[in-house]
Amino acid sequence: MSDVGTASAARVFRAGHLPPGWVGEMRWHTLRWGALAIEVPAPDAAQMQSLARHVREAATQRLRPLAVSEIVARLDQATHRMLDAQDPMRQLADALLPRVTGYDPEMVRLGLTAALHKFRAPQLHRFLAEDFPNPKVLDEFQPSPRGGQVRAVGPALLAHAWAGNVPGLPLWSLACGMLVKSGTVGKLPSDEPVFASLFAQLLAQVDPALADTLAVVWWKGGDAEPADTLWRQADCVLAYGGSEAIEQVRARVPATTRFLGYGHKLGVALVGREALDAQRVAGVARGLAHDVARYEQQGCYSPQVVYVERGARIDPRGFSQRLAAELAALERRQPRARLSAQEAAGVAAWRDAAELRCLEGQGSEWLGDAASAWAVAHSERLMPLRPGPGWRCVQVVAVDTLEAVPDLLAPHASFLQTAAVATAPQRLQALAEALAQAGITRVCAPGAMTAPEAGWHHDGGFNLASLVRMVDIEAGAERASDALAAYAQEARP
């Protein structure tokens, strides 16, 4: 699909992936980032119908007969190639992703490597075991603990509408689709069409038999014909993006088609007094600074607000100062992405509001200056949870006790996802329970917010089990079948 050797030199990259066995003329659309041109396949409704039918049939013939362990092995091969800094596909990713996202090249390189670690064979097997105690149910009927047998069957055709806010994000759903043996048709995001294209092309190189089970295409937002055609063909639709985009897709998916939407979520951090001494505070502040800076808070798991407990040797304001220092140090090593006019306006409005609170004497303080590419707003007063503008802008709020935070978060339960918690073991369990009741679905360590562990429950759900339908052979059916066997007749007196 792409000529890796010449794409960089010519500043043209042909993205997407079309099954080599598919017969059809394809329209192409060019997306531009300055001198870089990226061509994406843009099927019309008729082409989409033919393409979806081809992928469905190919997956039935070539993917479903594979044991799930064989699929893991192929994903592992592709992942190891993408982890290899000398591999041409990885070099192309390292060259193109910073250009299309605007993120710092070192940030992209480190973040992509961390994400890819989750898709090696040991992690993928844990991923499977999290949803299926016996993953062989994806291959064939297996004994059920209650008697009889059970089998998990994935959708014949899985459609993906990917978001482009975080490089590598499409790999989660692409891998999930393969593990449940579904044909994949994915829609590239306009703002990041590179990674999903490269990984699909890499899978086709690793195992050419899989090339026909995947299609990665693009259409312009609001172009209903190819989208509606795909939604009608698919057995399940996965959509990622903002709440408005998710609702638009949901409204067009047929009522009989399974729909899974992953919309905008919020992340927070809680820093307990146990972490606020001279030995521990630097590590916590450094970890949270990385969480804030990585991908410029564009992920659902990025921290928007940090709650810091009073009563320690280092007070919340002292923590805010250390967090600001760590963000300043990160800016020197990994500069913030260049902002669009709309993004810059959002940051400016957030800063203006924070500065106004300072002037009004509301126990607020502004750390940073107008020229800094990061911002820490410190507040000694409780504030309602509000999403920030991203781009390394974070609110720090002082609280008397962390145990009060879940009640502050609970009104926003439908938008909550990740909480980083820095506190002693005897408090962690109780805090996690209260956060869970408030709506948080993932508790992690500071510094790990943007790197979920293999097998995590995305937005509190199951990654694989949500895609399949379970089929039971009841024990009574087995007994009735035994009565009809030839040997049963012979055994009668």
* Nearest to 415, CA basis, from 321, 260, 301, 327: 301
Query: For residue 456, is it within any domain?
Result: no
Query: For residue 458, is it within any domain?
Result: no
State the amino acid at position 230 in one-letter form: L
Query: For residue 493, is it within any domain?
Result: no
Predicted confidence at residue 7, as pLDDT, reads: 45
Q: Which domain holds residue 337?
A: 266-444
**Total tally of structural domains belonging to the chain:** 2
Same domain for 9 and 45, yes or no, is yes
Predicted confidence at residue 5, as pLDDT, reads: 39
Same domain for 337 and 411, yes or no, is yes
- pTM here is 0.90
Same domain for 90 and 174, yes or no, is yes
Same domain for 257 and 276, yes or no, is no
Same domain for 238 and 367, yes or no, is no
DSSP 145: T
Query: Using CA atoms, how far apart are residues 308 and 79, in angstroms rounded to an integer?
Result: 39
What length does the chain have?
493
Same domain for 83 and 36, yes or no, is yes
Per-10-residue mean pLDDT, the chain, length 493? 43 91 87 95 95 97 97 97 96 96 94 93 94 96 94 97 88 95 96 96 95 96 89 96 89 94 92 95 97 91 95 95 96 92 91 81 78 91 88 95 96 94 95 97 94 82 93 93 82 57
Predicted confidence at residue 152, as pLDDT, reads: 97
Query: Is 397 in contact with 320 (CB distance < 8 Å)?
Result: no
Query: Using CA atoms, how far apart are residues 294 and 22, in angstroms rounded to an integer?
Result: 39
Strand, coil or helix: 262? strand
> Domain holding 189: CATH number?
3.40.605.10
Helix %, strand %, coil % of the chain (to 5): 50, 20, 35
Predicted confidence at residue 490, as pLDDT, reads: 63
Query: For residue 450, is it within any domain?
Result: no
Predicted confidence at residue 36, as pLDDT, reads: 94
CA angle, residues 407, 409, 444, in degrees to nearest 5: 110
Query: Using CA atoms, how far apart are residues 116 and 75, in angstroms rounded to an integer?
Result: 11
Strand, coil or helix: 310? coil
Predicted confidence at residue 372, as pLDDT, reads: 87
Query: For residue 38, is it within any domain?
Result: yes
Predicted confidence at residue 10, as pLDDT, reads: 47
Cα dihedral across residues 86, 90, 93, 98: positive or negative: negative
Predicted confidence at residue 8, as pLDDT, reads: 45
Query: For residue 492, is it within any domain?
Result: no
Q: Which residues pair with 473 in a beta bridge?
A: 149
Same domain for 254 and 286, yes or no, is no
Same domain for 165 and 181, yes or no, is yes
Residue found under tokens 């064979």: 121
Query: Distance between the two ends of the chain, CA-based, in angstroms?
Result: 69
State the DSSP string of 204-256. HHH-GGGGGGEEEE---TT-HHHHHHHHHH-SEEEEES-HHHHHHHHHHS-TT
Distances (CA, A) of 315 to 277, 308, 430: 9, 8, 23
H helical segments located in 132-194: 170-179
Same domain for 244 and 340, yes or no, is no
Same domain for 255 and 274, yes or no, is no
Query: For residue 449, is it within any domain?
Result: no
> Domain holding 314: CATH number?
3.40.309.10
Strand, coil or helix: 387? coil
* Nearest to 268, CA basis, from 433, 394, 107: 394
Tokens of 429: 């369990």
Predicted confidence at residue 333, as pLDDT, reads: 93
Predicted confidence at residue 384, as pLDDT, reads: 83
Query: For residue 171, is it within any domain?
Result: yes
Long-range contacts, stretch 366-372, CB < 8 angstroms, 24+ apart: 367/320, 367/321, 367/324, 368/324, 372/328, 372/331
Same domain for 180 and 272, yes or no, is no
Kind plus residue range of the DSSP H or E element containing 226: helix 224-233
Same domain for 240 and 353, yes or no, is no
